[in-house]
A and B are shown apart, each in its own frame.
Chain A
Amino acid sequence: MQDSAFLGMSDRLRILRQSRFGAFAPVLFALAAIWGYFGLALPLWDYLTTPEAQNLRLIFLSPRNIYNLFMQSAVIATLAVGITVVLLLGDIDLSAAATAGVCAALLGVLVLAGLPGWAACVIVIAVGAVMGAAQGMLIAYVGIPSFVVTLAGLLGFQGLMQKILPTGNLNIDDPFLRGISRILVPDMLGLAIAALIVAGMIALSLRRQHRRREAGLEQDSPIAVWGQIAMVATLLFGAVLTLNAYRSVPLLILLLVAITAALGWVTTSTPFGRSIFAVGGNAESARRVGMNVRRIRVAAFAIVGIMAAVGGIFGASRYGSVSYTAFAGGSLLLESIGAAVIGGTSLFGGRGSVWNAILGALVIGSLGNGLDLSGASAADKLMFSGAILLLAVALDAVSRPAGQGR
């Protein structure tokens, strides 16, 4: 269809990004580059330049640090996964972190009032869904741009959180809530789950190939299929073994992966998910084939609200407290939007994946963690994050299909 002899760099990039699997490539590359720099290059430089150094100190790549890195990135990742869903529509949610803050504060107050942890979680998730859906209705039915509605939400919810938490801080010691981040999945169980996932993937791929052959459809190239499985297996076992080497896989990470898998399935494999992509790609087209664009928009914002509430629960569990600066007042919002965008989800709608948001969150988390370890100042951290975000968006703009929004 296209003459490959005349492909420019940006065309190649675009084709890479459009392939199902190639969308992962840039964010994985960024992650590898950051880990290589902080994990290998910096320690090696230290070792070679400081005469009194006894041996190579690979702090960044130590299992302990990787464990912390995963935990630090988990809240960002939860929000980024939610934000990805509205980015797919071509909208944005600036209020996610403030929603998470309100939900976390409410969680603290409810638990303090004597409600069992699980009941508080259910209530808080429902509240998050309502907060998201309410904003979605203003966007879909009143027609206010999502940027404005959620900016108002950001301000309003920040205030609401301060109202709920007049002291600005609340400790959480409910065993159920603390358990989410404290409970560790036993080493063997973690490995068994990883093995099960890989085996499931292989079985599904084989069955799919078989069914395609029966239906007389073109076959996927075996290299792509097995390459994909090999990569997922490597990442999965690598992560589980590394976490096991320090402690074990935390329940929090398992929950995050499970929720992301569910949302990933909904967005890619159901008519609802397809309609999200359709609205993001061409809203007029979606409307003409009879999709209820407004309802889809409200549902997507409800999903962000739910993910924000879950992020609030995860955060409260991990920090053991709820504070204004950890959620609404801090850098959480920009980090999670950054994570979604670095993951390769287009701000113009219609392209992206929730899995990439997790990788994007790891990029952001690694950057912060690595700069902390190498003693960089907060100013350096901000500037580095800005540069990485800009790079990611530039990559998105260059790899956008020609003729769209140019």
Chain B
Amino acid sequence: MMTASTTTAGHQAPPTAPPTGAGDRAHLRVSGIHKHFGGVHALRGVDFEVARGEVMALVGDNGAGKSTLMKVLAGAHVADAGTFHLDGQQVHVGGPKDAAALGIQIVYQDLALCENLDVAANLSLGAEPVRPGFGFLPRLLRPIDDLRMEVKAKRAIDQLQVRTLKSVRAQVGGLSGGQRQAIAIARAVGADSSVVMLDEPTAALGVAQTRQVLNVVKRLRETGHAVIYISHNMRDIFEVSDRICVLRHGANVATWRTQDTTPDEIVVAMTRGLEKEVGRAG
């Protein structure tokens, strides 16, 4: 298959050869992912990988397949073909629950926070800790252990070093966009996840708020998470990412180490692909 061989070539041999074999320490690796929506071939044999302690940027023009790939990774779409490997072990992702069980979490662009609840409640939403000793009641009617919930929330927030957030009892509705993004990330991280996908986390934010979120992303890298960062903003990508994976027309163009490339090169790859690679494959 032509596209598949192109992407494989691009993946293993970016224009400047990778000095380290990033491939063998990949935490999550998918290969040969195909996804059809009716007659539309949205993903055509995409390979993708991310390692622990690494921020992998995923870029591409609109319609390149970024969102589809992300949803496939999160189990929201099931791939038509392709394999998943987690730490070298082949795994199966047949739905959001499978992905969550494997520690793959996604922070959607709309964040999905409950503005009427406080930070602690949002962080534990759907998995509220209950007090022991009420086993005679159905789980849904046991008293919530709100102290444990607050301690958990505080730990998650501290881990991400969100310094502007004064109290985990503040209602989310009163927080800034950056704080909300941080809380949504904290929720994803708190669920014992190892892979965190961020969909355009800075799209709606101002300068200071963006800085806050980028700090949180760097913090995730320090804590050994595998971060997948989807964005259109080259400046953010070049500040925060370790590698950049470019998709075009549902297939890989190539993956670069961020320090070895320039925004111009990435933009060209996004819009025109790699002339050389295409030429070689063809």
Chain A residues near B (Cβ < 8 Å)? 1-2, 15, 18, 208, 211-212, 215-218, 265-266, 269-272, 274-275, 277-278, 280-282, 284-286, 288-291, 350-351, 401-402, 404
* CB-contact partner of B114 in A1, A18, A217, A285, under 8 A: A285
Complex interface residues of chain B between 135 and 166 (CB less than 8 A to chain A) = 139-144, 146-147, 150-151, 154, 164, 166
Bound-state CA distance A107–B171 (Å) is: 45
Chain A residue numbers with a CB within 8 Å of B141 are 266, 270-272
Closest chain-B Cβ to A61's Cβ sits at a distance in Å of 37
Question: How long is the Cα–Cα vector from A275 to B141 in the complex, in angstroms?
Answer: 11
- Which of B65-73, B122-130, B266-274 lines the interface with chain A? B122-130
Residues of B within 8 A of A (CB): 97, 108, 110, 112-117, 121, 125-128, 130, 139-144, 146-147, 150-151, 154, 164, 166-167, 169-171, 173-176
| Contacts A1-B170, A215-B151, A270-B140 given; does A290 touch B116 at CB 8 Å | no
Assess whether A271 is in contact with B130, with CB atoms less than 8 Å apart: yes
Can you sample 5 A-B contacts with CB below 8 Å? Answer: A15-B174, A18-B173, A274-B128, A275-B126, A350-B115
Judging by beta carbons under 8 Å apart, are B140 and A271 in contact?
Answer: yes
Give chain B nearest CB distance to A281 CB in angstroms: 4
A289's partner among B110, B127, B166 (CB-CB below 8 A) is: B127
CB–CB B113/A277 < 8 A: no
* Across-interface contacts of A281 in B (CB, < 8 A): 114-117
- Bound together, the chains give a CA A281 to CA B171 distance in angstroms of 12
B126 touches A401 (CB 8 A): no
Report whether A282 and B126 are in contact in the complex, using a CB–CB cutoff of 8 Å.
Answer: no
- For A15, list chain B residues within 8 Å (CB): 174
Check A212/B147 contact, CB under 8 A, given A266-B141, A277-B114, A286-B125. Answer: yes
Contacts of A217 in B (CB 8 A): 147, 150-151, 154
List of A residues within 8 angstroms of B121 by Cβ: 274, 277
With A281-B115, A290-B97, A290-B126 given, name 4 new contacts (CB 8 A).
Answer: A208-B147, A217-B151, A271-B128, A275-B126
Contact partner, A1, options B116, B127, B164, Cβ 8 Å: B164
> Quick one: which of B116, B151, B164 contacts A351, CB cutoff 8 A?
B116
Q: Contact at B144–A289, with CB atoms within 8 Å?
A: no
- A211 and B176 CA atoms in complex are apart in Å by 30
List 3 tightest A-B contacts by C-beta distance, closest first: A289-B126, A281-B114, A350-B116
Are A284 and B112 in contact, with the CB atoms below 8 A?
Answer: yes
Tell me the smallest distance from the CB of B278 to a CB of chain A, in Å. 39
Determine which residue in B97, B139, B170, B171 has the highest number of CB atoms from chain A within 10 A of its CB, and name it: B171
